């Protein structure tokens, strides 16, 4: 089961390039800590779960003020939950961060983990408390530079409208569907693709009222086509 249209390699490249032309290079993931930016991505990936990024930045700044942003230092904080209070459910996230830091130290840090295959890394991350598919793929993509598609809620919204996903939302199905036609070794492509999808969801393909008239993706978008033929069931559904 999949979308109404099957994405092709050329179609996915065009989708990426059209967004790139519209929004410019995004250069994610935003970090503050020049000494240890990759580890900060692990921290940010947990803190951003169901939380606005501005609050994540405040929590990361508090952690940096309290000491070095390293796994060992975070494990030694007696007041980790208080330090990240601004990042949503802070006690839950403190437990998740501690699990991630313990994992990171036990596995030997980036130096050892670099040698792991992407599938093994993903499976190990998914075994941790509070790490789901999306968080694992954000870590794989941005901290480890692995070519992974992050199938977050923005991606589902846009790709369902575009015509590349339908039926009940299934993270792994969409991730594999996109990765099947995406460049196998090009993490920068997926890095930009995810960031551009977020920019597009926030800037034009809004949840309630997508601005299709001004959208760079409109020529290839099933929702825009249906809107142009207002008697079709899809246009009436409005999504
Ligand atoms: S044409 Fe409309 S529905 Fe399709 S991607 Fe653009 S804004 Fe979203």
Provide the residue ranges of all domains of the chain, joining segments of one domain with +.
9-26+151-237, 37-143
Ligand 1 centre to CA of 207 (Å) is 10
DSSP conformation letters of 82-140: HHTTTSSSHHHHHHHHHHHHHHHHHTTHHHHHTTS-HHHHHHHHHTSTT--HHHHHHII
Burial of 190 (0-12, 13-18, 19+ CB in 10 A): buried
Closest-lying ligand 1 atom to the alpha carbon of residue 211: 7
Does ligand 1 come within 6 angstroms of the Cβ of 197? Answer: no
Nearest to 106 by CA among 124, 120, 122: 124
User: What pLDDT does 88 receive?
Assistant: 85
Predicted TM-score of the model (pTM)? 0.91
Q: Which of 152, 122, 146 is nearest to 134 (CA)?
A: 152
Q: Which of 23, 154, 161 to mutate to test the pocket of ligand 1 (most atoms within 8 A of CB)?
A: 161
Residue 219 CB less than 6 A away from ligand 1: no
- Of 221, 226, 238, 239, best ligand 1 pocket probe by most atoms within 8 Å of the beta carbon: 221
We find that the CATH architecture of domain 9-26+151-237 is Orthogonal Bundle (1.10)
Number of helices (H), then strands (E), in the chain: 14, 0
How many whole angstroms separate alpha carbon 5 and alpha carbon 28? 29
Q: Which residue ranges of the chain lie beneath pLDDT 70? A: 1-4, 230-239
Asked if 130 and 46 touch (Cβ cutoff 8 Å), the reply is yes
Ligand 1 proximity of 212 Cβ (cutoff 6 Å):
yes
Two structure tokens written together for 201: 């969801």
Predicted confidence at residue 236, as pLDDT, reads 43
pLDDT at position 228 is 82
Tokens of 214: 């001004």
For the chain, the C-alpha Rg in angstroms (whole number) is 19
- 206 CB near ligand 1 (under 6 Å): no
Which stretch of DSSP H or E encloses residue 155?
A: helix 153-162
CATH class of 37-143: mainly alpha
What's residue 90's pLDDT? Answer: 93
Q: At what angle do helices 53-66 and 37-47 cross, to 10 degrees?
A: 130
Pocket test for ligand 1, best of 15, 210, 226 (most atoms within 8 A of CB): 210
**Buried b / exposed e along 143-164 (16+ C-beta atoms within 10 A):** bbebbbbbbbebbbbbbbbbbb
Measuring from atom 8 of ligand 1, which residue has the nearest CA? 205
81 CA → ligand 1 middle, Å: 40
Ligand 1 atom having least distance to the Cα of 222: 4
Q: What's residue 82's pLDDT?
A: 94
């Amino acid at each position: 089961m999949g979308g109404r249209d099957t994405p092709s390699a050329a179609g996915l490249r065009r989708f990426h390039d059209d967004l790139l032309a519209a929004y410019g290079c995004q250069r994610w993931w935003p970090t503050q800590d020049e000494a240890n930016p990759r580890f900060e991505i692990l921290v940010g990936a947990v803190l951003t779960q169901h939380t606005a990024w501005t609050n994540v930045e405040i929590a990361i700044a508090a952690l940096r003020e309290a000491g070095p942003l390293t796994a060992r230092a975070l494990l030694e904080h007696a007041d980790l939950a208080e330090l990240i209070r601004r990042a949503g459910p802070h006690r839950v996230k403190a437990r998740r961060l501690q699990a991630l830091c313990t994992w990171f130290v036990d596995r030997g840090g980036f130096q050892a983990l670099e040698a792991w295959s992407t599938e093994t890394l993903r499976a190990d991350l998914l075994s941790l408390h509070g790490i789901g598919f999306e968080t694992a793929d954000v870590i794989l993509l941005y901290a480890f530079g692995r070519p992974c598609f992050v199938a977050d809620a923005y991606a589902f919204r846009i790709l369902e409208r575009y015509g590349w996903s339908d039926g009940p939302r299934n993270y792994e199905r969409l991730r594999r569907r996109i990765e099947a036609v995406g460049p196998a070794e090009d993490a920068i492509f997926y890095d930009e693709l995810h960031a551009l999808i977020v920019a597009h969801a926030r800037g034009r393909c809004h949840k309630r009222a997508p601005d299709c008239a001004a959208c760079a993706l409109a020529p290839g978008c099933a929702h825009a086509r249906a809107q142009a033929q207002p008697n079709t069931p899809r246009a009436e559904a409005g999504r």
